[in-house]
Structure 1
């Protein structure tokens, strides 16, 4: 039973075991299943997975006749006596694997049995499409033929597969079939590599023996297996290595333990916020270390030269200690995030200090030069705009429609002009669902971004017309400026201003030299983005909703001011109502309510913006088991749990300059969590959100100038809610909910199967 060629190397963990067509919410187990497996009803809610996107026309069927199941995995007869069928010719579900990450080494078991009495002239044949196979390939299924008759088990099994976070199952009736698809049960298993214990267990045993009275040192057993200690993170090798130690604020005293220098696989070391004394030890044996937090202790002595020789070091924090002497030149020359303020005896090398004046004078000169160039640019740009023509006479139907949509404000570029500007489309700066983006420079030296669409694609033409119609009438300093279009020789082209600093994503999760480490600057980016969205929602008539807000669609100019880009998925929203359409957008940012109802409103953009705020605060991807843990994976669940447990400091990005005011972080976090409320009725408007962001910025600005005022964070009156309006969070402080859990609204039945 459940034999696999992996079983000698892996342990098998059940992830989902679903009884489709169950007659109640109750699970099926012993004595109906002699092996005491628990088969969960498809009508109940599971902690391990969620079922969404059930196809219309799905119906439950059942029989009291016996079903032969005595081979292979021997599912219980009671499970095989129920099923779901697709009366409209299709049967589909999407399974959200809430607490699991599958990169191969998974297996899936599907269970079919024909339990309806078909007439002699009726057949049931269908094609099955799975995410682990080619998307264009349908596996043919004829249940009676495969099983050898009615009321008999047919069980296809798939080994060594990868499953996405959202796993679709799709069955489609064939043309020669008279009945729709059927499905009785489904199982998913995950294979975890057998763990033989950590290679760092000796060093860790020695470490915890120094602190016998500390609660965190009492967890016992192997530090990585079967469950890592709460302050330890390990890799997934068969003999795992420790890659992260988080001992911040654990009341550590004495010297930094020498045992830490023997954990050679360590990537992150957090010892900040303790009472450690003595000198910093030689970390030269930690060849993989990337992040070291030693701030807010009582360390003395100088910074060891060995720190400059750590090949992978990216971040070093030693501020607020009693360190002294010169900072090693090699450390200053490394391209890392390095904070060392609050050490009165610590100073720059004399040569480096003298070079500072040269650097300052160079910066001043560069700024003056930029001012001159900017003035010259605007002068030449004005000349160019006076010369450039408007819509030309193109014979195509698309151009006629574009003239009707907005003939007053859209400029038409000649294709030859675009070709010269892009040097024959030489430099690609981006790719998307609607075409490739090229860098260009016009004859007046205006830098442009050129998006090329394929006119042969119907979707491309539709999106092109939609985008031109929208962009030609939208003008706001926090929206990427639309300069014009070109439509010649079967080529559709949109021309935008070029944004020098690229996407917000690059500045949150890119290389250290690009990261935005100023908290105030991140807040200002949030303010800019909110202003752009507010204009779309309130400044346009009818309102415009973006539908795909994410950090890669927030672009930054040379002054690091933010502008919202990419309106290819935008829709007009008449009468302030909603748009009912197919789900588009990006997983992690997409409003869960929209995913279920396919109704998109302004509040759906607010949800996506809330995710962007959480990214600005934490620096993390919206979905990441690496950052949030296998039990969480979603940034909303992670942030809610930390807010409720009072651990706001943990949410803040560790790469931020440590001078930020925690109260402004707290306010921004609560703003974000209001934006991602499960129901759109509970979410504030973007105008209310903007008001709160500006209030948070004032808190931060006052803190930086030394005049901090106490603030009633996120008061009900601040958001315009009545005193009895519920703004509380319903989840516990533990991170157990997930992205898919918010698909199911409070009081809303998960499925409506007729």
Structure 2
């Protein structure tokens, strides 16, 4: 742009110089009868036939006229040059403006990306709850995998049907829950669980392999958990004999991690609403995974009230039972009950007589806070196998989780951080055992 302007400036000065020189020569020779005037005079008289003057007057008139024409041409040339330069300046300015805007936009995008990444780090990759892909099985495949749903393959029972052990193609082991479509509620829970599990991706949440639907039944296909449920391990024939103190703490830690994923990493947060020992499944290495999401609900950050009461007696939080108020602290209460089961080896509700039941929380609470009584109520399988300091810490944690007032209960994240130091490194914690 600068070189172009200098070029036009040079041409303009050259033109002025030539024009001025020409006029100077013409003016100096106008007083004499130089032959060089004749062509110009002839030219002027040719295009001005009406003008008749004397020789001196004609020379002066021609000189003035040439000067006027020169000035007009020079002014026009100067105006064109200025106009051209102004147009170039406007064009250049527009280009610069676009460049700046693009740069600002790029800077804005970069800043936005940075903030998104920062937000992602803060929220630890929150998962947006949208329906994901679900593999659909045909009925014949599931029938073949379960041996026509033989009773000998039943590994569990639920409110709407049974769970069968299955062997799919390529010898993939699975668990298939058969739901009898006897009501709209059963259909609704089936669809809710499939929708949620299709999106979840966490090592402590049961994995969904697929689903199927028939006129009279629906099926959910899960990964197989070889050790069954925590309820079976604690209250079944073995009475918890396979569960050492450290394994129980690992199960509690895994469950807390699964709940933290639902409460803190899902957007909106998910409340399980039916956490209990029978919905905590164990694989061959006693890794725990939360299952059964038929009653789970997605909540906004403020929670919701007046949700239809659902759950299992003994695990339902008081505020939800009495007022219908459901929050993530409702799951924390249920987790506290599971923690008491692991600690004491007792069921959440025990029958004292055909007409009388006793809550584990009600029975244990006075003794949990008494260090002299606590060792005597611990599950006999693990009694005297743990550091008493760790026992007191777990008991205090359980007491906080089952507080009647929700605001007094900790967040599941706080519970998780309290459990990590109690679990050996080999089992997923930070505790280093001394030999």
TM-score band (shorter)? 0.5 to 0.7
Counterpart secondary structure, 2:348: coil
Matched, 1:705 2:434: yes
Instruction: Give, in whole Å, the separation in 1 of the partners of 2:171 and 2:267.
Output: 35
* 1:36-435 correspondence to structure 2 within 5 Å: 406=131, 408-426=132-150, 427-435=153-161
1:600 is aligned, of 317, 321, 326, to 326
Q: Are 1:664 and 1:697, in contact at CA under 8 Å, matched by a contact in 2?
A: no
Deviation at 1:580, TM superposition (A): 2.1
Deviations, residues 95-133 of structure 1 (Å, cap 9, x unaligned):
xxxxxxxxxxxxxxxxxxxxxxxxxxxxxxxxxxxxxxx
Greater fraction of residues in helix:
2
Deviation at 1:405, TM superposition (A): 6.1
Matched, 1:450 2:176: yes
1:641 is aligned, of 358, 363, 366, to 366
Deviation at 1:658, TM superposition (A): 3.2
Structure 1 gaps, min length 5:
1-403, 707-754
Which residue number in structure 2 is paired with residue 523 of structure 1? 249
Instruction: Give, in whole Å, the separation in 2 of the partners of 1:428 and 1:638.
Output: 34
Sort the Cα spacing of 1:521 and 1:587 in 2 relative to 1 into closer, same or farther, 3 A.
same
Deviation at 1:489, TM superposition (A): 4.4
2:287 is aligned, of 545, 557, 561, to 561
Deviation at 1:657, TM superposition (A): 6.0
Deviations, residues 259-298 of structure 1 (Å, cap 9, x unaligned):
xxxxxxxxxxxxxxxxxxxxxxxxxxxxxxxxxxxxxxxx
TM-score relative to the length of structure 1: 0.38
Deviations, residues 402-453 of structure 1 (Å, cap 9, x unaligned):
xx963x4211112211111111111222221232222110021111111122
Which residue number in structure 2 is paired with residue 694 of structure 1? 420
Deviations, residues 503-543 of structure 1 (Å, cap 9, x unaligned):
11121122237623410110000000111111111121111
Matched, 1:621 2:350: no
Runs of 4+ in 1 over 6 A off after TM superposition: 698-701
2:400 is aligned, of 671, 674, 677, to 674
Instruction: Give, in whole Å, the separation in 2 of the partners of 1:568 and 1:599.
Output: 19
Deviations, residues 659-689 of structure 1 (Å, cap 9, x unaligned):
3111111100100110011111111111011
Q: Bigger shift: 485-494 or 672-681?
A: 485-494
Instruction: Give, in whole Å, the separation in 2 of the partners of 1:415 and 1:625.
Output: 41
Counterpart secondary structure, 1:473: coil
Instruction: Give, in whole Å, the separation in 2 of the partners of 1:505 and 1:481.
Output: 20
Root mean square deviation, CA, Å? 2.5
Deviations, residues 457-501 of structure 1 (Å, cap 9, x unaligned):
211111121111111101111111111111244432111111111
Greater fraction of residues in strand:
1
Deviations, residues 543-581 of structure 1 (Å, cap 9, x unaligned):
111111111111100111111111111111123412422
Deviations, residues 690-716 of structure 1 (Å, cap 9, x unaligned):
11111333699868416xxxxxxxxxx
Which residue number in structure 2 is paired with residue 244 of structure 1? none
Which residue number in structure 1 is paired with residue 264 of structure 2? 538
Structure number with greater Rg is 2
Counterpart secondary structure, 1:430: strand
Counterpart secondary structure, 2:294: coil
Instruction: Give, in whole Å, the separation in 2 of the partners of 1:702 and 1:479.
Output: 24
Sort the Cα spacing of 1:423 and 1:625 in 2 relative to 1 into closer, same or farther, 3 A.
closer
Number of aligned residues: 299
Which residue number in structure 2 is paired with residue 664 of structure 1? 390
Counterpart secondary structure, 1:477: coil
Which residue number in structure 2 is paired with residue 380 of structure 1? none
Deviation at 1:625, TM superposition (A): 5.8
Sort the Cα spacing of 1:653 and 1:446 in 2 relative to 1 into closer, same or farther, 3 A.
same
Instruction: Give, in whole Å, the separation in 2 of the partners of 1:409 and 1:635.
Output: 41
Which residue number in structure 1 is paired with residue 336 of structure 2? 610
Sort the Cα spacing of 1:578 and 1:420 in 2 relative to 1 into closer, same or farther, 3 A.
same
Instruction: Give, in whole Å, the separation in 1 of the partners of 2:362 and 2:140.
Output: 52
Structure 2 gaps, min length 5:
1-128
Which residue number in structure 2 is paired with residue 584 of structure 1? 310
Counterpart secondary structure, 1:656: coil
Sort the Cα spacing of 1:680 and 1:659 in 2 relative to 1 into closer, same or farther, 3 A.
same
Which residue number in structure 1 is paired with residue 238 of structure 2? 512
Q: Are 2:421 and 2:431, in contact at CA under 8 Å, matched by a contact in 1?
A: no
Q: Are 2:305 and 2:325, in contact at CA under 8 Å, matched by a contact in 1?
A: yes
